[in-house]
Amino acid sequence: MSENNLLVKGRLSNQVYPISYNLSIKPNFKDNTFEGKVIITIEFKNYELTKFGIHMKDLIIYDGIIKFDDRLVDIEIYTHEELLVIHTFESLKNTQHVLTIYYSGKIRQDLMGFYRASSEIYSTQFEPADARSVFPCFDEPNFKAEFNLILENIPSDMTVLSNADILSVQTETETKTKTHKFMTTPIMSTYLVAFVIGNIKYREIMSRYRKRIRIYGTQQYIGKMDFALDVASRALTWYENFFSYQYPMDKLDLIGIPNFGAGAMENFGLITFRESGLFCDQGTELNKKQEICQVICHEIDHQWFGNIVTMDWWKYLWLNESMATYFQWHVTNVLFPDWNIFDKFIDDEFKHALSLDSLETSHPIEVDVDSVKDLNQIFDGISYSKGSCLIRFLFNYLKEDNFRNGMVDYIRTYAYQNTTSEHLWKAFNRVTGKNISELMNSWIKQTGYPVVEISSKNNLILFTQNKFLKSGPNTYNTLWLIPLNVYVDTFDYNLEMNSKTLLSEFRSNNFIVVNPDRIGFYRVNYDIITFDINVMSSKIQKNIFDDMFALALSGYCSLTKVFKLFRELDFKKEFYNYNYNLLNTILTNLTLIYKLLDVNPELQSSFKLFIEKNILSHLLRTMIVLGWNVRVNDTNDILNFRPLVINFLGLLENTNTINTALERFNENKFKYNLQIVGDNASELEYKKMKQLLNSNDPHIRDEIVKALGNVKNKILIDDVINNTLFDKLEKQDIWITMKSLYMNKYA
């Protein structure tokens, strides 16, 4: 218990909970303040104390204007704990009461709470725990309630959005302002409450089931909304069909915010985005369109996973984020099957998760967290990427029908309630009759993942599992329940491994590949290699090389072993066929090794010669054939392959590639070259990059903020740090340039 006797492990009592909020906010945009009034209907259940607490942060309570029912009450404010304590002077066992609070606060500048996003837009961002900075409330996810919002004193030329649709608008003629009253929301958590005020425009479409979908943004983006409209409409319909549960509101708004700290936010009925995550046109690069589609699908999934069914506490954040991250790929694949988007999943989610979870500082997916000050630490690649890999595994393990039936059972059973991991597993247990809890808890509750070694014993294949760490072989005795998918000659086999070793019936001279599609979340170390790398599919080639590079760099095998396989590869064929899957993995790992050798220039130079001897001719031939410009008949592989080759040639400091990149940049051609421009910028290019921070294309701005941190000239680096970082960059972008600077050896 805390000193005020009201918090248990940082959380409020579950015997006191809200039923509904009536909230009025009256902003003053001249001095960036607001006045508020909140009326909370509260239920008390077997509550013995004569005081209770709710959350409040950075708000000023008007003297003497807190009422409990119709009488004034005493209060205490615990600033450090963000707690407002109300004294009732009577125990409240099974009763319902009304709490009324008048208060004021400040419109913030830090992209949290109620903040000023630009001169045109004011927005909110409450996740994980900033609703309390806009109104006193029960600011924990398991205190779900209805919300009735009124926004007052809004200039008549501004548009106002919130979770629910507008119920009425009242005009104040003298002040040229309006009061907007919104419909009652579904029962939801405080972190999902949202409103946006600004000079914005929209395009709209009706979904198949008559839901009104609008894309909002400032005037400059009105012509860049069609793709998002199409994706949102089709994705919403797909989710309604897949979950057999209708989206509960008549409208869904998606809006691009000029300054937005997250990638996007799933507020119920009003999803907020970075502008680059929502707007595009026909000239936008394929990979950017893919990202936009994924972000939209991610946030729409949250309308079910997170909004309708909500985690009981942030410990179960992964229930929201893992599911939404997996489905952003799944639904994108449904909407655009020619993209082969799950190939990209391996690079963006699977490999990222393997890298993070191989650190000794990693944490379980399901991790205890008590203090709200620690919440942001779990919004990471473990909750998102590793979680999505495990959901992908479960989807394939159960097959689509069983998985879908489990989802339907889960949503129908727990709609508008709060859940833990066990609720999800029990839904799958009911549908499949299998012990999904035991299987998944092996992966959810433990840190890290295994490496499965393939060796020979008595002419049979022996499987051995050990914990994989980037720091190298270790003595941990952690065991996982591993469903092994083994490709033997021309047949697929599924085994279960729940011990340190498993001796199979497969012969050591069989053609054997383990985890060929990377469905299982583990690495594979081939102590014996019985396959021919050149007769495999590009996906299997990619997976084998990625594991072998990671194992070599962590001391589980030698780099000599990797480069022996590397030299066996028919690079002429792979480049000629634009095998993006495989070559992206190889070039990415070669780049990693090359940069690690920055500490040893002589060895780095030798490694560069090794690369040039083996693949430079293929790289240069590819550039001659493909050129820099997009062509009408370019396949998706070619669209991805071209920038891969260009940037790798830039890494090798190929003079012609660098000069062409700089020439095109100075001719206002920005496709594929901004990374190289950043690496090789003179003062002339640097000044132009700074000017492009004002570009109307959010994707160019995104690339520029990365490129600025890559400059090599010390004078330019000093200017980035002393003049550009905090004076020229939007708040949302500062961390991106900081990350580039951190990874820049010259900085």
Which residues carry out catalysis?
299
The helix/strand/coil state of 85 is: strand
What would you report as the CA-atom Rg of the chain, rounded to the nearest whole angstrom?
28
Alpha helices in 179-260 (DSSP H): 226-243
- Using CA atoms, how far residue 234 sits from 212, 323, 501, in Å, is 12, 19, 47
**Alpha carbon distance 194, 131 (integer Å):** 9
CA dihedral 436, 439, 443, 446 (to 10 degrees): 110
Q: Is 26 exposed, middle or buried (0-12, 13-18, 19+ CB in 10 A)?
A: middle
Q: Phi first, then psi: what are they for 249, rounded to 5°? A: -110, 165
Name the token pair of 201.
């425009």
Q: How far apart are CA 664 and CA 671, in angstroms?
A: 9
Per DSSP, the three-state class of 675 is helix
What would the DSSP string read from start to end of 467-535? E--TT----------EEEEEEETTEEEEEEE-SSEEEEEEETTS-EEESTT--SSSEEEESS--S-GGG
C-alpha closest to that of 414 among 404, 406, 422, 423? 423
Residue type, 259: N
Q: Report the largest interatomic distance among the alpha carbons of the chain, rounded to a whole angstrom.
A: 93
Bridge partner residues of 497 (DSSP): 482
How far apart CA 8 and CA 248 sit, in angstroms, is: 34
What are the residues whose beta carbons fall under 8 Å from the beta carbon of 724, sequence distance 6 or more? Answer: 690, 708, 737
Strand, coil or helix: 735 = helix
Contact 172, 211 (CB under 8 A): no
Q: Whose CA is closest to 526, among 574, 577, 464?
A: 464
382/508 Cα distance (integer angstroms): 36
Gap between the Cα atoms of 425 and 442, Å rounded:
12
Q: Which amino acid is at 567?
A: R
Dist. CA 331–CA 313, nearest whole Å: 27
CB atoms within 10 A of CB 681: 22
Task: Specify the amino acid at residue 219.
Answer: Q
CA 87 to chain centre: 41
Residues in the chain: 747
**Residue 37 to residue 135: CA distance in whole angstroms:** 8
